[in-house]
Structure 1
């Protein structure tokens, strides 16, 4: 069979989808029964020596919630290396969540695993649909040296083992599993002959691609545990001669690779190929409300709750650990690969929506409580005719933007006139956008609410130069005749079919299409905002057009427009496109019967803002179709740039069709933006939770198409034109037809300087995370500044991604990364003196060799050196 000795590492395992074709509770009931038997067999040393539990610690938590009496058995098995758990809390989709969610997933997996006696220090991801470019750095910073994966393998790699490098040059040993966790399974081996045939087949197929001349073979449990025991006995008979077959773990396999000192090929960049495994690109745009809600929750929890709870802790020594941890756990449950992808039955979606609702309720309360507490620590004296309004900015750069604010007055105390005034007594542009009767609820203590009838005013006003990770105080004046005020000139202009600010003029042409003029550079961006509707007879995993697809474009239908909200702060142009699209589609074509598809789009220009913000509303009445919004760029380009967690990635436009298991026509993943440019012209398309886009070429034009939603009716189908193979059971999912009201938010940012990426990054996050304004009710002397930055980082290419209170000690953790492709020297300034600092990894363990890159400049300031695209975590003790 082979002349050289071949070590075959058999890894008994179980791949478990926590919620997928059945809801969680029904899946768990089955899992608990299986787990009972696995524990019994491991305790009795009955054939199965070790068992790997799918890399997800959450499975132990699920089990012990039903069987708490088994805790000691779990601890004993994990501590003795018989039950292998972690390193993740839950299996996730790296392209649909933030970088900080990925890190928290590993951190929580580590914390939970330690409760049970240990952790598997290998990044085991057998089913994730590809991997982001910065994953090696995230793994290394989480104490892991290797990745074992299945989906996304690069087509250029001939060996199953290679070195995968992140942008900062940190690297892991990566091992590709050709058939994932199913190389062997209990249904393949029923007798001695099956075992012999399977071993011969595995060696023949997989050994030529092994640089280590060894094989890592997961043995997946699909039948009763007794069948795995029998199979292992059959397999053990062939442990002779040059074949060394033994039960083991992944760490021992990695150790063999290291011991042999094999020179492995080194690669970098994302792993998203589909020549050797499926990557399910259709999940990027199915059930879009789940993705939009996830982005919203991540921003609330990371940028508001954690960040300002940490600042409030430095002022009050109070930190809501329990609620933050609960929110993270619920969020990570929603980020389970099948859950965030929306590739599950409709009952599961209802569970996800309920968890989202709970997290939002918790976060809203924590944000209100924390910002109110900080407000009440600000020393500020005002007269009877004034209220102090505090504008908070969670991002790591100074911002000027329009802020929304609400205030309640008792009916007989509502003022007749208002002004917003800054620290220089200059009146700032504002607009009352709503006045209504309200029932105001104020909690006197933690249990007893007091209800008052009030008049609620909702304002928008211009907040200028709000400090990074800080606040700025404004005065809301009620009796303006007592004040002498300076005023700013109104720069918003309204014409018959266009609106204009300092930077752009936007208009609607005779086809109902948006046209943009960059006033400063005299550059036109024509044919923006064209809606495209095509057939989709795919499933939740893959888009598939009908054989004779017919696409419908908004520019071929009637439209109307009007201009509203003409005020000193902003102007909005409303565009209504009255499309008619087929009621449904089949594999051959789209139906002849049409239904209405009215799209109402709000296009807003704001005072002193370099973005064009857009909101589109549509009620979907059709089935089996895909709706995209298209933007034309009158240059042909070969590559583009897109945000991924902790980096901006350069992607080629060309799609290699050869040997792909999934064909062209499906989308690519993005986070907050995609950017294209050529010569002295460029444009960035920013989104709120719209993860799928495509780059199309049409003659001398490049088209960016962002998918708004896919509407389909099946979890999985067998014979799709765009995919080889089947994914899961053929189950109907009528809720995935998305027949409901949708709201999509996105923004256009004309920008041309690709050499400086930070302005794009900043505009994308400004759009996704607007400032919050709070009324100040009490006063204190803790903070005696009208405006203050709690932490500043320089230069702009260094971006703060997370600030949180450690749960291990009194330290404050601050994480940032370098956007640039070059080493950057910078500094971090804090609002108060600190005593000690250290560089730590994602698990908050010190990294001694990094100490030389950070130095204390003065009692409040650190100097830092960050390598290209490097992610750095500091732990500060105040």
Structure 2
């Protein structure tokens, strides 16, 4: 039977890489002229514009007059665009970011005539196990990707890829990369090329993607196809697209596979890229958290108060973030000039999102009934009652303060007070008014906040002295709260689990080793020295009070300055550090805050946390679920003999936590921006979280973990001195010990740790609390009252988003079941009054009839299932 080769003419348009997006945009401006002309003149039948809309978004900003022309080609089916806004990373960005990416891409593509309804990610460095359910949630039933499928899972190129909830996509796994078809243009060895793409095919329909990075139109495509057709009597090459290819293979006998794909058995996967450019990972994590758990819920809350919902403002921020989520950009494997642009986008997104939260909290606070000077308004942007110790600052004209709620005194503690000048600044200090000043008090408050609402406190003058925290040195230096005691003795930290009555000695340390890798991959130097760093020489301060107990360690670590020193086992470079360890009242988290000043090069630093378990598996969260991974790859000793592309070191990605547990206890480390972990030690008892990697080249050849040619550009060393990260950096993580591993409850505990409570103080003394405070603002005409929002308080399901995705009334509330095996039933959303609700998919399309009630029953959740509820209250 004759074989049919579906020739897919395309380009892979890296948004940025060793070049900047500005540099590639110039090529795009002219490239699209060629594309449109070739399609209009029928020189080619179809063209695939890489499945992402960000490049067209930029193009139409400069050339809006081309929108109709492009739209005609899209509507005719000749030009395939979307569904993505950018070619996202799937492993270290949150699920809601992936959803926003598709929302933005589809919306823009629909304005041009429609999108390619295929999950097309030809170059992402690994595939998340959650993608089938994300795709199905958007009505996508087919997917195309290249990297990560293990040979032992399947060698077939077409299969059904499924998720725990039963979601499934018909998948085409590209053979040898999206550029394999360039051989059609460049090589006359037709049998060899067809043999290559036949390997693993499930039928007589083969796919041949003809394109490459920023590749031009191949105007001789038909000529080359005819040459191949003449050389291959049993094979017919036809111009095609992925829709036609999937239609042709849908009846093939196909296997079903499940899980994530991060194997290097057939392609480089870069399993340690999760720690490149830590500074970017940290910023991304901060802005993602703020957008999903503060800005978007606040905007929903604000609309109920009469403040218009500004979807365009949210979209602007999400576009900035999504541009930084492309596989190269998220990974950090770029030139320094590109990484600087990525940094600038993060800074812009940070400023916009912070200012949005600032504006909304102020607008609501100043629009309440009976506003009075000094009031402190604290917001809860989560859908459950939130009791926590929070930090805030207030400005007052008096040196001693008290805190009241409805006339009753509220307990709080003052961390510190500083006196600030409030008059007009003058060239000569003597000319300044000595009576113009105010006080800024840093407070700890034990707040109990209603769900999706706010609480108002009165800051008043206190006649007695200021109650301050005490700092003390004791013979046995220790801190404690209801759950833990931490003891510093003989340079080591011991952890006491007070509930279980167990002590864990020397549970925390740091590790520094060499790194002769590049921005893609960690690789140990050919001559390495690795050492454990502790706190033995640190200066230790202890703060012990009712709401907060804290260690502050200050010191220096000595490490090798560079690879040359490491080979000689010299350690002349000092790394100044400050480590704080905090125990809040009634908090289950031990919070760590590390600040260092890195001036060394080519090294990797990790934090080591010893668990009491002999670990065979690790557990962590994924975009919309959890995953169980083995702590050592079965091919760690024979990967070279098998011809793998890189060593399958058990270095893994994480989003917000990594967990180790057995039948007696569960240890979880939460992070804010740390995205990489590995279990190490004789019995894999130690969690090793990579704080950062310091490397100086985009790509290097002949690495110990990745033999052969350099990744990125194999023909040229591209120095990246900025990727050495020789600067001050901050690392934030927390440890929590439980009896059982409960992923949904952990997600809730993570939010208690990682999401602060926004607040605003009514005062005019200090006009510089935030940038926007200096601007004037009119309060709303219709005054705002304190009222609780909807309540969702579950230990079995995870709250994912509260956002408005359509122009219609109401908002979308999203939750999912993180359990890999068990169904969840009986959970509800409670409202303060009757609500109209409809279950919708991730795109906002209704999948149920509309009902009304003050309690929304969520029904039964399959393992891993996502549900979105559109609510009008």
- Superposed pair shares fold, TM > 0.5: yes
Work out whether residues 278 and 661 of structure 1, in 8 Å CA contact, stay in contact via their aligned partners in 2: yes
Deviation at 1:273, TM superposition (A): 1.3
Alignment of 1:157-196 (within 5 A): 157-185=154-182, 189-190=185-186, 194-195=187-188
Residue 475 of structure 1 aligns to a residue in which SS? strand
Deviation at 1:183, TM superposition (A): 1.4
Deviation at 1:552, TM superposition (A): 1.5
Deviation by residue 1:413-461 (Cα, 9 ceiling, x = unmatched): x2242222456935323224232416699xxxxxxxxxx9752423322
The answer to whether 1:322 aligns with 2:312 is: yes
What is the alpha-carbon distance in structure 2 between the residues aligned to residue 184 and residue 231 of structure 1?
15
What is the alpha-carbon distance in structure 2 between the residues aligned to residue 304 and residue 291 of structure 1?
19
Deviation by residue 1:379-414 (Cα, 9 ceiling, x = unmatched): 4687x8xx43222222233322221222223xxxx2
What residue is the counterpart of 2:789 in the other structure? 790
The answer to whether 1:38 aligns with 2:35 is: yes
What residue is the counterpart of 2:496 in the other structure? 517
Work out whether residues 562 and 575 of structure 1, in 8 Å CA contact, stay in contact via their aligned partners in 2: yes
Deviation at 1:371, TM superposition (A): 1.5
- Which residue among 246, 253, 256 is the counterpart of 1:254? 246
Residue 36 of structure 2 aligns to a residue in which SS? helix
What residue is the counterpart of 2:513 in the other structure? 534
What is the alpha-carbon distance in structure 2 between the residues aligned to residue 623 and residue 257 of structure 1?
51
Deviation at 1:776, TM superposition (A): 4.8
Residue 185 of structure 2 aligns to a residue in which SS? coil
What residue is the counterpart of 1:802 in the other structure? 801
What residue is the counterpart of 1:685 in the other structure? 669
- Which residue among 699, 714, 717 is the counterpart of 2:697? 714
The answer to whether 1:63 aligns with 2:49 is: no
Residue 175 of structure 2 aligns to a residue in which SS? coil
What is the alpha-carbon distance in structure 2 between the residues aligned to residue 841 and residue 457 of structure 1?
48
Residue 544 of structure 2 aligns to a residue in which SS? coil
Pairs aligned (count): 832
Deviation at 1:208, TM superposition (A): 4.1
Deviation by residue 1:331-384 (Cα, 9 ceiling, x = unmatched): 1112222112111111112111222222222222211221123334544687x8
Residue 567 of structure 2 aligns to a residue in which SS? coil
What residue is the counterpart of 1:83 in the other structure? 79
The answer to whether 1:305 aligns with 2:304 is: no
Residue 169 of structure 1 aligns to a residue in which SS? coil
**The 10-residue stretch of structure 1 (720-729 or 492-501) with the greater mean CA deviation from structure 2:** 492-501
What residue is the counterpart of 1:581 in the other structure? 559
Deviation at 1:481, TM superposition (A): 7.8
- Which residue among 105, 108, 119 is the counterpart of 1:112? 108
What residue is the counterpart of 1:766 in the other structure? 752
- Which residue among 205, 208, 220 is the counterpart of 1:217? 208
What residue is the counterpart of 1:447 in the other structure? none
Deviation by residue 1:140-160 (Cα, 9 ceiling, x = unmatched): 111110111011113321211
Residue 791 of structure 2 aligns to a residue in which SS? strand
C-alpha change, 1:495 and 1:162, in structure 2 (3 Å) is farther
Residue 512 of structure 2 aligns to a residue in which SS? strand
What is the alpha-carbon distance in structure 2 between the residues aligned to residue 381 and residue 808 of structure 1?
32
Deviation at 1:121, TM superposition (A): 0.5
What is the alpha-carbon distance in structure 1 between the residues aligned to residue 107 and residue 516 of structure 2?
43
The answer to whether 1:142 aligns with 2:120 is: no
The answer to whether 1:704 aligns with 2:687 is: yes
C-alpha change, 1:188 and 1:213, in structure 2 (3 Å) is closer
The answer to whether 1:694 aligns with 2:678 is: yes
Deviation by residue 1:102-149 (Cα, 9 ceiling, x = unmatched): 001011110010111111000011100111121111011111101110
Work out whether residues 824 and 868 of structure 1, in 8 Å CA contact, stay in contact via their aligned partners in 2: no
RMSD of aligned C-alpha atoms?
Answer: 2.9
What is the alpha-carbon distance in structure 2 between the residues aligned to residue 328 and residue 33 of structure 1?
28
- Which residue among 194, 203, 209 is the counterpart of 1:203? 194
What residue is the counterpart of 1:356 in the other structure? 346
Work out whether residues 529 and 569 of structure 2, in 8 Å CA contact, stay in contact via their aligned partners in 1: no
Residue 500 of structure 2 aligns to a residue in which SS? coil
C-alpha change, 1:479 and 1:436, in structure 2 (3 Å) is closer
What is the alpha-carbon distance in structure 1 between the residues aligned to residue 299 and residue 588 of structure 2?
31
Deviation at 1:792, TM superposition (A): 0.9
- Which residue among 688, 700, 725 is the counterpart of 1:738? 725
Alignment of 1:606-645 (within 5 A): 606-645=584-623
What is the alpha-carbon distance in structure 2 between the residues aligned to residue 456 and residue 628 of structure 1?
40
Residue 76 of structure 1 aligns to a residue in which SS? helix
C-alpha change, 1:318 and 1:434, in structure 2 (3 Å) is same
What is the alpha-carbon distance in structure 2 between the residues aligned to residue 833 and residue 440 of structure 1?
52
What is the alpha-carbon distance in structure 2 between the residues aligned to residue 218 and residue 590 of structure 1?
50
What residue is the counterpart of 1:51 in the other structure? 47
Deviation by residue 1:542-577 (Cα, 9 ceiling, x = unmatched): 11111232102113x852232244333212212235
What is the alpha-carbon distance in structure 2 between the residues aligned to residue 406 and residue 231 of structure 1?
72
Deviation by residue 1:221-253 (Cα, 9 ceiling, x = unmatched): 566535553664445634975423211111111
C-alpha change, 1:422 and 1:816, in structure 2 (3 Å) is same
What residue is the counterpart of 2:429 in the other structure? none
Deviation at 1:493, TM superposition (A): 12
**The 10-residue stretch of structure 1 (868-877 or 7-16) with the greater mean CA deviation from structure 2:** 868-877
**The 10-residue stretch of structure 1 (520-529 or 201-210) with the greater mean CA deviation from structure 2:** 201-210
What residue is the counterpart of 1:275 in the other structure? 265
What residue is the counterpart of 2:21 in the other structure? 24
Residue 620 of structure 2 aligns to a residue in which SS? strand
What residue is the counterpart of 2:282 in the other structure? 292
What is the alpha-carbon distance in structure 2 between the residues aligned to residue 174 and residue 362 of structure 1?
38
What is the alpha-carbon distance in structure 1 between the residues aligned to residue 473 and residue 666 of structure 2?
25
What residue is the counterpart of 1:446 in the other structure? none
Work out whether residues 556 and 575 of structure 2, in 8 Å CA contact, stay in contact via their aligned partners in 1: yes
The answer to whether 1:829 aligns with 2:826 is: no
C-alpha change, 1:522 and 1:164, in structure 2 (3 Å) is same
- Provide structure 1 residue ranges, at least 5 long, that are not aligned to the other structure: 442-451
**The 10-residue stretch of structure 1 (562-571 or 27-36) with the greater mean CA deviation from structure 2:** 562-571
C-alpha change, 1:236 and 1:39, in structure 2 (3 Å) is farther
Residue 180 of structure 1 aligns to a residue in which SS? coil
What residue is the counterpart of 1:599 in the other structure? 577
What is the alpha-carbon distance in structure 2 between the residues aligned to residue 295 and residue 810 of structure 1?
30
The answer to whether 1:434 aligns with 2:434 is: no
- Which residue among 324, 344, 347 is the counterpart of 2:337? 347
* Alignment TM-score, normalising by the size of structure 1: 0.89
Residue 523 of structure 2 aligns to a residue in which SS? coil
Residue 201 of structure 1 aligns to a residue in which SS? helix
What residue is the counterpart of 1:332 in the other structure? 322
Work out whether residues 558 and 577 of structure 1, in 8 Å CA contact, stay in contact via their aligned partners in 2: no
What residue is the counterpart of 1:811 in the other structure? 810
Work out whether residues 9 and 47 of structure 2, in 8 Å CA contact, stay in contact via their aligned partners in 1: yes
Deviation at 1:539, TM superposition (A): 0.7
Deviation at 1:832, TM superposition (A): 4.5
C-alpha change, 1:227 and 1:80, in structure 2 (3 Å) is closer
Deviation at 1:297, TM superposition (A): 0.8
What residue is the counterpart of 2:527 in the other structure? 548
Work out whether residues 558 and 574 of structure 2, in 8 Å CA contact, stay in contact via their aligned partners in 1: yes
Residue 225 of structure 1 aligns to a residue in which SS? coil
Work out whether residues 543 and 666 of structure 1, in 8 Å CA contact, stay in contact via their aligned partners in 2: no
Deviation at 1:794, TM superposition (A): 4.1
**The 10-residue stretch of structure 1 (331-340 or 566-575) with the greater mean CA deviation from structure 2:** 566-575
Deviation by residue 1:230-288 (Cα, 9 ceiling, x = unmatched): 66444563497542321111111111222x2x342222221111111111123211111
What is the alpha-carbon distance in structure 1 between the residues aligned to residue 706 and residue 514 of structure 2?
16
What is the alpha-carbon distance in structure 1 between the residues aligned to residue 326 and residue 808 of structure 2?
29
Deviation at 1:859, TM superposition (A): 4.1
Residue 812 of structure 2 aligns to a residue in which SS? strand
* Alignment TM-score, normalising by the size of structure 2: 0.90
Work out whether residues 185 and 221 of structure 2, in 8 Å CA contact, stay in contact via their aligned partners in 1: no
What is the alpha-carbon distance in structure 1 between the residues aligned to residue 728 and residue 799 of structure 2?
35
- Which residue among 68, 72, 90 is the counterpart of 2:68? 72
Work out whether residues 796 and 824 of structure 2, in 8 Å CA contact, stay in contact via their aligned partners in 1: no
What residue is the counterpart of 1:868 in the other structure? 863
